[in-house]
Amino acid sequence: MIACLLIPGFALRAALRSRPRLALLPAALTPEPGKEALIGPVTAAAEAAGVQAGMRMGEALATCPELVLIEQDPAAVEQEWEGVLRRLEGAGFAVESTEPGLVTFQTDGVERLYGGVEAALAKALAAAGSAWDPRAGVGARRFVALAAASVARPGQAVIVEGKEEQGFLEPLPLSLLPLPSNRYAELEGLGVRRLGELASLPGGAVEERLGPEGKRAWSLAGGGRQDAQPRVRGRSPAAELAEALSFPEAVANELTLRRAFGALLDRLLARPERAGRPLRKVAVSARLVGGGSWRRATTLREATAERGRLRAALGPKLLEIPGPVLELRLEAVELADHVGQQLALVPPEGEEMDGRLSEGLRQVRASTGSGSVCAVVEVAPWSRIPETRALVVPRDM
């Protein structure tokens, strides 16, 4: 069985950790910089006042003039979510993080440890922390587990057996499907508002109207075989290397920030825990004046520990900081497994190319996630249906 643990509005909850009194007021997360002016998650008081996540900022303020706008805090989101993941891993769960607030794991390996699925889910909810109001869902497929978690109450786990999937999914809203917002409006204009209504349509007609993404959504809504996925792949152990520098006064001078970044980089590279391994993915973040934060993560083209290359890759990011800085932080998100390259006098033909290809694929996976590098495996080459002849599975490096 596949389990999904969901914390709705995690970004807003993380931003409010340092200002808990605002959680009781009508509040919403500000739009992301550089994107459309749509507000993020909202508090219960704001929802009661008629404000919904995804509203335009002007509409939200007109609906509720008392609405408090909370600045984006990506650094706090990353730190709090990493804490949740590590508590789950400490409880014995091999987790695969989809995004902050949504994590998937397999229950097979922990059912005997805790005495059944219900006990394992109770342990996972307790590990996540009751302050986050987590909810969990379990099903034979990832989408079913996500749907179950979305209808669960805070602190509750909903288990959907295989024979109950169809009846469980039918009354649920279309917003659970991975579709662009304009597709939801298009389907609602056609009178389709529930998963069961979409599943009852002919698959060919849905694909012709909405394309491949519509066919995928139709398959998910109807319990089709296209949702068959490999086992959940637990993430690699996270690196715990980070250095921070606090300023006595807010700093907005580029030269000062670059010197501070250089000092942080020297301290990070000198950490004995690194054991000589090069850095594969690095993040730089800043705590801003007036609340909120800024964060940028960079996957290097090639894992390296050379100071000059790291400064060249991350130094320009400092120009993107939107305001004066109170604290600058540098974090090694992921380290390479090797400490060097063993050279041969006469390397076998093709070995160097294979090594470079494997290293490049590791870099891609570090940048885009564990399921981004896949291989096509034939399972039924004799089938007359093209979609059933092969499966796309994550590739092991």
Considering the chain, tell me which residue range(s) the CATH 3.30.1490.100 domain(s) occupy.
241-335
Beta-carbon contacts of residue 118 (< 8 Å; ≥ 6 apart): 157, 159
d(CA 198, CA 221): 7
Listed in sequence order, the DSSP H helices in the chain are 10-15, 44-48, 57-63, 74-90, 108-114, 117-128, 142-151, 165-169, 181-189, 195-199, 203-210, 212-222, 254-269, 307-314, 351-368
Q: Which CATH number fits domain 241-335: 3.40.50.300, 3.30.1330.10, 3.30.1490.100, 3.40.50.1820?
A: 3.30.1490.100
Mean pLDDT over 7-14 rounds to 90
Phi-psi region of 111 (alpha: psi -120 to 50; beta: other; left: phi over 0): alpha
Which is more confidently placed, 235 or 123? 123
Residue 5: the pLDDT is 92
Beta bridge partners of residue 281, listed in sequence order: 299, 334
d(CA 253, CA 255): 6
Answer for the pair 93, 110: CB distance below 8 angstroms, yes or no: yes
Res 269 pLDDT > 50:
yes
Give the pLDDT band (50/70/90) at residue 229: low
Res 228 pLDDT > 60:
no
Residue 227: the pLDDT is 45
Q: What is the DSSP-derived secondary structure letter of residue 171? A: T
Taking only the tens place, the pLDDT of each residue in 52-68 is 888 888 888 888 889 88
Token pair 């637990």 is found at 234
Q: Which CATH number fits domain 1-158: 3.50.50.60, 3.40.1170.60, 3.40.190.10, 3.10.150.10?
A: 3.40.1170.60
Q: Is the pTM for the entire model greater than 0.75?
A: no
| 170-227 homologous superfamily | 5' to 3' exonuclease, C-terminal subdomain (1.10.150.20)
Taking only the tens place, the pLDDT of each residue in 204-222 is 888 888 888 788 888 888 7
Which is more confidently placed, 100 or 35? 100
Mean pLDDT over 355-360 rounds to 73
Residue type, 70: I
d(CA 112, CA 103): 21
Token pair listed for 103: 């994590």
Mean pLDDT over 260-279 rounds to 88
Answer for the pair 395, 369: CB distance below 8 angstroms, yes or no: no
Mean pLDDT over 256-274 rounds to 89
